[in-house]
Amino acid sequence: MANLIKYAALAFVAVHPAFALAQDAPTPVAAEAEVGRVTLNADNIFVNETENTVTAEGNVEATYEGRLLTADRLIYNRNNDRVRATGNVIIIDADGSERYADEIETDSRLSDGYAIGFSTRLPGGGTAIAQSALREDDGTYNEMERLVYSACEVCEESSTPTWAIRARRAILDENSQMMSYRDAVLEIAGVPVLYFPYFAHPDPNSGRRSGLLPPSFGTSGALGVFYQQPYYWAISPYQDLTISPKVMGNVDPIAEFEYRKRFWSGDLFADFSVANDQDFTSEGDKFGEKELRGHLFASGRFRVSDNWDWGFGLEQMSDDLYTRRYDIDGEGDDRGLYQSQPRRLLNQVNLIGQGPEWYADASLITINGLRARDNDDAFPQATPLGFVERQLDFGNLGLASVYGSSAILTREEGVDSQRLSVGTEWSTNRILRGGILLEPFADARFDAYELNDTPSLTDTVNRAAANAGARLSYPLYRPGKSFDLIIEPTVMAVYGTPGVNDPDIPQEDGLLYEFSEASLFESNAHGGYDIYESGSKASAGISARALWKNGVSLTGLAGRRWRASSDSALDETSNLDGTASDWVAGLTANFGTPLSFNTSVRIDDDDLSLNRIDAQVTTNFWRLRGRARYYRLNDSVTGGESGEEGISMRGDFRLTDRYYFVYGRDRDIVDGRDLNHTIGLAYQDACSRFEIAFKRSEAVDRTLGPDDTLTFTFSLKTIGQFGIDQFGSDDTN
C-alpha cells in the first residue's frame, strides 16, 4: 500500500521538472503522468510552489506493477517529505489483497505511517477493520487499535458477521505472518462468548506457524471437568509436533502427542500419549495400582528404489481399554499392507516391490487382542509372510502367472507352522459362432507344511492340487432409445483334485471366509491358502446390466455353486459345505448423486430363507444427505448360537439454507441396544459451522458402561475449531 503511493507521487514530480519555478498559486498540469511503469491519473493535478506541494484531486488512480491505488485526493509535501491520501482510499495488491482507509499519511518512502478508518481483506479469507492503524519497520509491523476481525462476509445490509474477534489492540507482523490480539473477545452473532487476554493466529494467507491451537473443554462422568490445550510446534518445513496436555477433575493429567515428518524418500507419523494414574471406571471410580500408562500408534512408508518401498505400522497400548477411557482416536486405522480386525492391535513391517509384470511383498506381523476373552499367547506371529508373482503373456495362447507364497507362524500356545506354496495359473478366451464366449483355464498348486505341537503330532504335511475347466457365457446386447440392456448367462465346470485338505493343516487365513457372488466363477472359491476347494464343481449364474442414456445404471448378478462331493474342511459359515452352496446375489443401482443402492444376499438352498443380507443406500437429494446400512446374518453364517442384525445411519437434513438436522445411529437389534445414537442441530455458512448434539451409547465393555454425551462444537474459518462437551454416565444395561 505505502510503496504504491510513494512511487505514484514521486514519479509525477520527477516527470515535471519545469514546475520548480516559484509560483504564487496552484498551477494545473496534465491530468496524467507516467514514468516507466508508474501511472498517476486524476481529474486535476496541481503543483503549489508556495507550499511546495503536489496535489491530485478527483478520481485519483495510481498503478505500479499490477498494484492499484484509488482515492479522492492525494497530496505530496516536499518540505517534510510526507504523502497524504484522503477520501475512499483503496489499495489492491497484485496478490489480490485489498486495503481500505478514510485517510493515510506516511513519509516519502511510505514504509512508516498511519491510517484512519482502516480495513483490509486478505486473499486467504479474512477481513480486519480498525479505528486506526500504524505501520512501522519498513511496513512489516502493523499495529491496529480497536480492531474487529472476521472471516465472514460483512455487507451493508447485515453489519453483524456470524463470528468476529473484537480486540483493544492487534498486531499483524508481515515477517512472521502472525496476528496477535490484546484484550480480545470472541463474538457470535454480535454476542460476546469468550474473553482472551492474549490471542494469536496465523495470517490466513500464511503457511504453517507454531502456536496454541483452539482448546477443548467440558465435563465427563469418567474424567470430570477437563481442559485440553494443544500447542502446535512447526519444527521445520518438513516436520511438526502437536503437544496436547489434558487436565481432568477426577483423574490425573494426560499428555497427548502427534508427530509428523516428511523425508525425501517417504514420511513418518506417530500418535502417542502418556499418563501416570490408576485404572478407573466410566463413573470415575479409581482402582488398582498407580502406574505409567500410555499408547503408541505409528506408521511410515519409504521408497528404496523406483520399484521397492518399505513401511511399518506400530500399535501398542498399556491397557485394553486405555484409548476408550481417555477418548483417544486412531484405533483400527490403516497403517500398512495389512489392516487389523476391530479391537486388535497389529504391528507390521513390510517390503513391497512392483514392476510392469511382477509383484512381491514380505511382512513381519505380531497381533495383540483388546477383547475380554482374548489370549495373546494364542495369537499367531508371522515371521515372516511372503508373496511373489510373475505375469507371462503368451499372446494368442493366453495369459499365465507363476507365484510363490510362504508363511512362518509361531505362538506361545497352539500350533506353530511353516508353509511354502508354489503355483501357476493360466487362462485364455475364444469367441465361438453366435457370439458365445469360451474361457478355458487351469491352475495347480503345491503346499508344504512343517508343524509343531499338533494334536496328532504330525511333523510335515504336503499337498498337491489342480483344477482344469472352462467358463461359457453368452452375452446378449439390446440397444434401446432410452436404455441399453446386457444380459449374460454364464456356466462353469471344473475338474479338480479330490480330498486334498488334511485335518492336521491349521486354519489360519480362512477362519472368516464366506463364499459370495464375488467368487461365483472362481476355480478355487476359497480365498486362503490353508483351505483348498478340492474336487469337481460347477457354477451357474446370470448377470444383467441396464444403462440409461442419462447415466443411471442397474447391475445384478445371481447364481449358485455345486460340488461333486462334500469336504469336512469346509464348514457351513463358508457357504461351501455339502454339495451345494446357498444362492448368492448382488444388486447395484446407481442413480447418480441423488441415490445409489447396493446389496448382497445369501438365500438358503433348502427352504429359500434369507441367511444373510447386507444393504446400503446413499443419497444426496433435495435437502437430505446421508447413508444407511442394514445387515442381518443368521447363526449358520456367524457360526454362533445367535445371529447378528443391525442398522447404521448417518446423515443430515437441511431445514433452511443454513440450519441442518443431524442424525446418526448404530443399533444392535439382536441385543436391543444402541452402540451409538446421535441427534443434533447444526448451523453452517461460508465462514463457520456450529453444532449441538446429544449422543447416547449403550455399549458395555468390562468396567466401561453406557454413556450420555451432550456436545457443542463450532469451527471458524481461518481460526480453528473449538469444542464444549458435557457427559453423563448411566449404570443401566
In this predicted model, what pLDDT tens digit does every residue of 252-311 receive, in sequence order?
999 999 999 999 999 999 999 999 999 998 888 899 999 999 999 999 999 999 999 999
pLDDT of residue 86: 92
Q: Is the pLDDT of residue 77 over 90?
A: no
Residues 6+ apart with CB under 8 A from 156: none
Mean pLDDT rounded to a whole number for the chain: 86
pLDDT of residue 691: 84
pLDDT of residue 141: 78
pLDDT of residue 12: 39
Q: Which amino acid is at 274?
A: V
Residues in a beta bridge with 254: 246, 275
- Please report which confidence band the pLDDT of residue 424 belongs to, taking 50, 70 and 90 as the band edges: very high
pLDDT of residue 402: 98
Inter-residue contact 91 to 67 (CB < 8 Å): yes
pLDDT of residue 107: 67
Inter-residue contact 424 to 441 (CB < 8 Å): no
* C-alpha triplet 659, 121, 182: angle, nearest 5°: 85
| Residue 351 CB coordination number (10 Å) | 17
C-alpha dihedral sign at 343, 349, 354, 359: negative
For 478-503, write each residue's pLDDT tens digit.
999 999 999 999 999 999 999 999 88
- Please report which confidence band the pLDDT of residue 726 belongs to, taking 50, 70 and 90 as the band edges: very low
- Please report which confidence band the pLDDT of residue 315 belongs to, taking 50, 70 and 90 as the band edges: very high
Residues in a beta bridge with 144: 133, 170
Cell for 488? Answer: 449374460
Inter-residue contact 401 to 394 (CB < 8 Å): no
Q: For the chain, give the number of residues.
A: 733
pLDDT of residue 641: 73
pLDDT of residue 111: 58
Q: What is the mean pLDDT of residues 367-382?
A: 93
**The three-state (H, E, C) secondary structure of 474-525, written as one string:** CCEEECCCCEEEEEEEEEEEEEECCCCCCCCCCCCCCCCCCCCHHHCCCCCC
Q: Which amino acid is at 590?
A: N
pLDDT of residue 159: 66
pLDDT of residue 9: 40
pLDDT of residue 6: 38
- Please report which confidence band the pLDDT of residue 723 belongs to, taking 50, 70 and 90 as the band edges: very low
For 222-237, write each residue's pLDDT tens digit.
888 888 888 889 899 8
Residue 468 vs residue 51, higher pLDDT? 468
* Alpha helices by DSSP H, 304-409: 322-325
- Percent above pLDDT 70 for the chain: 89
- Please report which confidence band the pLDDT of residue 733 belongs to, taking 50, 70 and 90 as the band edges: very low
